[in-house]
């Protein structure tokens, strides 16, 4: 494989990841488990019956430039 082919394949990774996360979300709910998700700046627990519970307020998102490294403390 050459660099152009690898770049082309890598472009599809975000779309594949989004589809996998969405499928996992719905499978977990269908199996009777609750899931956590970020919604409107809050961490929300979603139950299989559709009810939601606020767990906590989330800090504002951190903007990161492509290629920049962050140290998590």
pLDDT per residue rounded down to tens, the chain (73 residues): 888 888 888 989 999 999 999 999 999 999 999 999 999 999 999 999 999 999 999 999 888 888 888 788 7
pTM recorded for the entire structure: 0.70
Q: Is 32 left (phi over 0), alpha (psi -120 to 50) or beta?
A: left
**Rounded Cα gap, residues 29 and 49, in angstroms:** 8
Q: Which of 33, 58, 61, 27 is nearest to 47 (CA)?
A: 33
Q: What local confidence, expressed as pLDDT, does residue 29 receive?
A: 98
* Nearest-angstrom CA–CA distance, 17 and 46: 21
pLDDT value at residue 64: 83
| CA–CA distance, 28 with 48 (Å, rounded to integer) | 8
């Amino acid at each position: 494989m050459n660099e152009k082919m690898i770049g082309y394949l890598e472009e599809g990774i975000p779309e594949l990841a989004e589809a996998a996360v969405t499928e996992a979300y719905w499978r977990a709910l269908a199996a009777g488990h609750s899931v956590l998700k970020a919604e409107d700046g809050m961490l929300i627990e979603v139950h299989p019956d559709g009810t939601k519970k606020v767990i906590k307020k989330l800090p504002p998102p951190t903007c990161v430039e492509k290629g920049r490294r962050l140290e998590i403390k």
